[in-house]
Amino acid sequence: MKVYKFGGASVKDAEGIRNISQLLLNEGAESLAIVVSAIGKTTNMLEKVVNDYYDRNTPNLDDVKHYHYAILEELFDKSHSIFDEVNNLFVEIEWAIEDAPTSTYAYEYDQIVSVGELLSTKIVSAFLEQEGIANKWIDARDIIRTDNTYRNARIEWELTQQQIAKLISNNGVFLTQGFIGCTTENFTTTLGREGSDFTAAILGFALDAEEVTIWKDVDGMLNADPRYFNDTKLLHQLSFAEAIELAYFGAKVIHPKTIQPLKEKNISLRVKSFLNPKEEGTVILEDAEMKPFMPSFIIKENQILISISANDLSFIVEDHLSYIFSLFAKYGLAINMMQNSAVSFSVCVDNDSQKTLPLISELKEGFKVQYNDQLTLCTIRHYDQAAIDKVVDEKSILVEQKSRQTIQFVFSN
């Protein structure tokens, strides 16, 4: 049994969906679980609907609707029942936004944004059927059981494994939604942005899959993001440990939560291109030697560097530090880099102003706080001097931090 995951970019238009069907025919898919994300940028569009709804602006579904109906018209005859199914899903959103919100933003978000994945999987499933690829559409909310941490739900592993065993077998093609789950009280949840990779890993784990393949519009994991570097190279093979490091430092190709379940069962993870399916892509395996061995560059933009010192210039002592950490946790800010000196402690985080502004004002109650924003964090794994020169080149570096394998720079743009 294999697990395939197709992201939003792979199903962004009718041609993409046709390509998936051709790819499955070529691969001779037989014993397969397929996870699909929302079409193209649907999740962003639905986020906007939720925000407008929650802010009491008039939410508008027209763009999402046009986008989906245009694809349907290219793929299906007007009389196909998929038109009704898609219509019903839009009606669900319309109902959800009819009355003023009664619950938290995160709850409303999950009820509405999750429909993106229901739409895409209904469409892909119907199209595969039409092309002769028999498949069973599974509602992920019947298998992925979570707690009620809306927008970032935690998996209830026992229940999830039981449900997957009940509903998915080794025989045939099963197709389900990434990113979404359900509480035991039957409320829809989501697993965090880009969570579809994680869904694929959960299925791989529960099904003891041979391999999980993430199909992307790039050739695999590259040693740098082509938006910032023009001489990127493909990583052919790496270990789970290395993949976790790269994902942790912000490499965008796979969601960091994806790796743990696969590592636990030693299921290989392949990242390859749906445009060049004959190419091997990148394979991530337990203890695999990194091939080729070379520096990897990870760029994170829109960073804020917050420097915290005690009002009386005393040392930043342990109890200060534990309190400071608890505030970062309280506002859900993951620390990308930190450094301390005798009198101050500096932390670099993503500048999400919804979180950083209240954090800074709370920090100011007890400490002296200074910050710089609009910064970039560059991490180089397996650095050498040439790699450093490439990045540093006339930039004004605010912080540099180095360990044996990794060097990080925070610089202003």
Interface positions with ligand ASP (CB under 6 A): 7-8, 37-38, 43, 116, 178-179, 193-196
* Sequence-ordered strand ranges (E) for 329-366: 335-340, 344-350
Q: With respect to ligand ASP, which residue has the nearer C-beta, 108 or 237?
A: 108
Instruction: Select 193 or 395, whichever has its Cβ closest to ligand ASP.
Output: 193
**190 sits near Mg ion (criterion: CB under 5 A):** no
- Which of these segments, 32-40, 65-73, 292-300, 385-393, binds Mg ion (CB under 5 A)? 32-40
Q: Does 181 bind Mg ion (CB under 5 A)?
A: no
| Residue 391 contacts which entry, ligand ASP, Mg ion, none (Cβ below 5-8 A, type-dependent) | none
* DSSP alpha helix (H) spans, 215-352: 240-248, 259-265, 318-330
Q: Does 176 sit near Mg ion (CB under 5 A)? A: no
Q: Which residues contact 40 (CB under 8 A, 6 or more apart)?
A: 8, 9, 11, 12, 13, 67
Q: Helices 42-54 and 62-75, interaxial angle, to 10°?
A: 150
Q: What is the rounded distance in angstroms from the CA atom of residue 168 to the CA atom of residue 206?
A: 10
Pick the closer one to Mg ion by CB: 122 or 381. Answer: 122
Report, in Å, the least distance between residue 194 CB and Mg ion: 6
Task: Decide if residue 195 touches Mg ion (CB under 5 A).
Answer: no
Q: Between residues 68 and 381, which has the closer beta carbon with respect to ligand ASP?
A: 68
Rule CB under 5 A: is residue 37 a binding residue for Mg ion? yes
The one of Mg ion, ligand ASP, none whose footprint includes residue 38, by CB under 5 to 8 A per kind, is: ligand ASP
- The vertex-179 CA angle with 116 and 51, nearest 5°, equals 55
Tally the C-alpha atoms within 13 A of residue 378's C-alpha that lie toward its C-beta.
26
Out of ligand ASP, Mg ion, none, what residue 178 binds, judged by CB under 5 to 8 A for its kind, is ligand ASP
Closest CA to 23 of 277, 219, 279: 277
* Residue nearer to ligand ASP on the CB measure, 203 or 375: 203
Nearest distance from C-beta of residue 92 to ligand ASP, angstroms = 17
- Round to the nearest angstrom and report the end-to-end CA distance of the chain: 47
* CA 357 to chain CA centroid, nearest Å: 24
Number of residues counted as binding Mg ion (CB under 5 A) = 3
Residue 230: closest CA among 297, 282, 302, 290: 297
Give min distance, CB of 389 to ligand ASP, in A.
36
Tell me which residues touch Mg ion (CB under 5 A): 7-8, 37
